[in-house]
Amino acid sequence: GENVEQHPSTLSVQEGDSAVIKCTYSDSASNYFPWYKQELGKRPQLIIDIRSNVGEKKDQRIAVTLNKTAKHFSLHITETQPEDSAVYFCAASSYNTDKLIFGTGTRLQVFP
Amino acid sequence: EAQVTQNPRYLITVTGKKLTVTCSQNMNHEYMSWYRQDPGLGLRQIYYSMNVEVTDKGDVPEGYKVSRKEKRNFPLILESPSPNQTSLYFCASSLLGSASYEQYFGPGTRLTVT
């Protein structure tokens, strides 16, 4: 079945450094790729998403890139801050199933 | 205030005792979904509904039932809970009848089955 793999599972960076989280998906019909941030004890919240007709999208310090050929997409956070510390989930959905498949999550820790 | 609500927020129950977790949204969203979150496994979709009276299985539907009789409500039913259903459960909704839009999550329900 459909699968989304996410790496790394944990990531520690110094404040001000960049962080990159990578995901690969298996269903070639996938056309929507959101990223969610979950702070400790809170619900997941969308931070950025990208559709298959776009290669890159930016929103201030965060960006997502998509490589459809390789079935790979990545989240880039620049100038990290302690408040970026959270668990980040990638996900993928396709137009022919309407399921949303999540990766297993990356715990990002930003040290001051 | 636009929101997704879930009740109860915490529940401890025993094996085999039927339970229902309610989910309600006030945003007139068409798509609603249930997920369970377990350490190391991320969020896994249990069931989803693209509109009233339309439901479909996600990745882990075994042991769960759902219904969508009204647009705003999407209850999750565990007919005979077992300890492997101990988990954190999230309900979510999105505007259109598709998974390809922002999901708005409820606050979560932490279920323990002993």
pLDDT tens digits, one per residue of B52-92: 999 999 999 999 999 999 999 999 999 999 999 999 999 99
Beta-strand ranges (E) seen in chain B are: 4-7, 10-13, 19-25, 31-38, 42-51, 54-57, 65-66, 76-78, 87-94, 104-105, 109-113
Count contacts between A and B (CB, < 8 Å).
Answer: 64
Alpha carbon distance B9, B108 (integer Å)? 6
Helices (H), B41-98: none
Rounded mean pLDDT of chain A?
Answer: 95
**Residue A95: what pLDDT?**
76
Residues of A in contact with B110 (CB under 8 A): none
A57 touches chain B (CB under 8 A): no
**Residue B2: what pLDDT?**
81
Using one digit for the tens of pLDDT, what is the confidence trace for B8-49?
999 999 999 999 999 999 999 999 999 999 999 999 999 999
**Residue B111: what pLDDT?**
98
Mutate to test the interface with B, among A6, A93, A99, A100 (most CBs of B within 10 A): A100
What are the tokens at B41? 């496994």
**Residue B100: what pLDDT?**
82
State how far residue A102 is from chain B, nearest Cα, in angstroms. 6
Q: How far apart are the first and last CA of chain A?
A: 41
A43 touches chain B (CB under 8 A): yes
Q: How far is CA B70 from CA A39, A98, B18, B109, in A?
A: 31, 20, 22, 21
**Residue B97: what pLDDT?**
73
**Residue A24: what pLDDT?**
98
Q: How many CB atoms lie within 10 A of CB A91?
A: 27
Mutate to test the interface with A, among B10, B32, B37, B43 (most CBs of A within 10 A): B43
**Percent of residues, chain A, with pLDDT higher than 70:** 99
Nearest to B108 among A43, A46, A101 (CB): A43
**Residue B61: what pLDDT?**
97
B2 touches chain A (CB under 8 A): no
Q: Is pLDDT above 90 for A1?
A: no
- pLDDT-derived band at A39 (thresholds 50, 70, 90) equals very high
Nearest chain B residue to A32 by CA: give it.
B100
Residues of A in contact with B48 (CB under 8 A): 98-100
Using one digit for the tens of pLDDT, what is the confidence trace for A77-96?
999 999 999 999 999 998 77
Contact present, B33 and B91 (Cβ < 8 Å): yes
